[in-house]
Structure formats: structure tokens, C-alpha cells
Amino acid sequence: MPTLFNTIICDRQKMPLVLLDMSAFKAANPDAIFEDFIRWHSPGDWEADDDPESSGSTSPNALDINKSKDSWPPRGRLSKRMSDHGNLWRNIWNKAPALPASEQKPLLDPNREGEKVLHYLETLQPHQLLEQMVSTAFRAAADTISQTSYGELNQMETKIQQLYPTMASALRPLQVNRLSADSETIEDLKRLCVVFEHVEKLLTVAASLHRKLIRAPRLSREIFNDYYNFYIPRMGTGLTEEVVEKEFDKKQEIRDNEREVLSNMFVPPTANQSWRKVLSMGNLLNGHEPILREIIFSLHDKVSGNHYAARSGSVSQQDIETYRMYICGTSNDLRVALSVASCD
């Protein structure tokens, strides 16, 4: 078998993949002919014949249609390209041996291809590496933005489509090694970053509205249109951001079928959440609840018959009776550690 491959080395250099596919196809289908391979490998080069019986019938039976589809061999002919005399594909088919894919010689040598990659990296110029890294980073960012779901917003779609030609024009000068500290290419890249920043801001609003108001698409479009008209005049492409004091405060009229969608966005707290808030031991300390808290109750009233009170007449009858309670635990498990009553 290997000797037959050597006899058609010229053809293999022209169409190596087709040759190997034909050999594997012959090994898997010993009785196959050239037309069978074309129907499998290149369906566009097979012209199927129309069934005259089904074409003349106005209401063909479903069983007859399925039967015609399953009929073998298929009726048809090769395309003109494959039917020409001396066709290269047919010549390769006639010479290709039946050899399974597992026994074929690989087209690529992994060690040699790896050495090519290392040689390319070793001889790569710095400006070429910079071009590939910057271009790849911007392209990945643009593809990530374009894959975000934001609904049917024509303005957002136009902005994203404009990203790619803008990005191509700004990155094209990187192909030549003409970068310097005062180069215009550096300024163009900075402006491109500003453009990405503006598109990301618009996309954040668009994606948020689409997700929250997916059942109210009209309201989502109207709110975004107002925000788009408010934000676009303030975008600019300069490197210095302008301070805009005006805030977006446009209001929209809510229709009856949209009220339920908006009301579902503000779900009231559950009973468990309410009790956790009531039983909370106080403000959070570094993100955690304190494990010990002192609670002081003060009573401004007359003290009589209290053994803590002084019996001399110099003490006013309008005293302050203070109760100090030390508790520990969590909001779900409170325990009284110590309780003290005093007369201050």
C-alpha cells in the first residue's frame, strides 16, 4: 500500500486531503464508486433527478414520498465540473488505495510544526508582537460586546456594527513600525478606548433594561431611546471627559399591561427577612455582627422602696433607674449573659 501512495506523490501534493479521504472512504465502503464519494464529500457536485411521478401529482401520498427518498441507488448525475474528461478528482479516485484513516501517514508532523511555531516567536519583531496583542485584545472585547443580549434596539446594533470598522482603521497603522511617543497612532488608540467606554455604558443600560423589562419590550425601548438621546450629545471622542451636571430624569407613562411587570421588580420582604432585621444585634462591624452587645434601658421616674436607692434626704426623688442587659449570640440565637439594675 505505501508504494501506491508514492506513485501518486504529485497528485497528493495538489490534493492531499481529498486523497486521504478517498482512501478512508474506500476502506469503509468496499463496494463504493466515485459517485458515492462525491455525494458524501461534495454534495454540491451531485445533481439529483426530479421524480416525474411525484411532480405530476397534485397531492402526493406521504408514503410515496418517503419511499422515493429511501430508494437506492439515488437517481442523479455528477456536475459538469466533475464530469469533465480527465477530471483530477476521478483520476485520484482511480489511484487511491483502500486504506483506513488509522493506518494513514499524518499530513502534519507535530514536532516539526512545533519547531516552526518556536522559530516564529523567536524571530518575531517587537512591533509585530504588539500589533497582534493589541488587535487580539480589541477584537476579543468587541466580540464580547456583540454577544451581549440587549433586545431589539436599533441604535445599539448600529453602534456595535460601527465598532469593527472603527477598530480596523485605528489598528491598521500598527502593521508598520512607526510608533513614537508623539505618534498619532497612540492618540488613535486612546480615542478607540474612549469609544469602547461609551459603547459599554450604553450596552450596560440596554442589557439591564432588556433583562428587567423583557415582558415589557415597549417600555424598555422607550426608556433606552430617551437615555440614548440624552447620552449621545455628551459622548464625544476626546480624551478629556466633560463634567455633566445634568442627570437623566426623563419619565415614561406606564400602560396597564406593564404595571404588573414593574410591580414584580419590587418584591416585599418575606417574614423571615423581616424578623432577621428586627432581631439584628446592631450595626455590622467590619461586615460581621458583633458577638456581644450591651443594651441599656433608662427609666426617669420616682424611685421608692428600691434597696439600691440612697436613704438620705439629699437624694432627689426624681432618680434614674438603669437596667443593663448583656446579650450574646446571633440574630437567630440570643442569650442573656448578665442583667444588672442600678439607680443612677
pLDDT (tens place) for every residue of the chain, 344 residues total: 444 444 344 444 557 788 889 999 999 999 899 999 999 988 888 888 765 554 444 444 444 444 444 566 778 888 888 888 888 888 889 989 999 988 988 878 889 999 999 999 999 888 888 888 999 999 999 999 999 998 888 889 999 999 999 998 888 888 776 666 667 888 888 889 999 999 999 999 999 999 989 988 898 899 999 888 888 877 655 555 555 556 777 788 888 888 888 888 887 777 666 666 555 544 544 455 555 555 555 555 554 544 444 444 444 445 556 666 665 665 555 565 555 555 55
* b/e 165-202 (16+ beta carbons within 10 angstroms → b): ebbeebbebbeeeeeeeeeebeebbebbebbbebbeeb
Look up cell 433608662; give the residue.
Answer: 298
- CA 90, 96, 98, 100 torsion-angle sign: negative
What is the DSSP annotation of 274-293? Answer: HHHHHT--SS-BTTB--SEE
Backbone torsions φ then ψ of 279, nearest 5 degrees: -85, 0
Contact call for residues 236 and 191 (beta carbons, < 8 A): no
C-alpha cell at 39: 455525494
List the one residue out of 234, 240, 171 whose CA is nearest residue 198: 234
- What pTM does this model have? 0.49
Contact call for residues 93 and 37 (beta carbons, < 8 A): yes
Domain spans in the chain, listed from the N-terminal domain onward: 2-107, 119-262, 272-343
Number of residues written out for the chain: 344
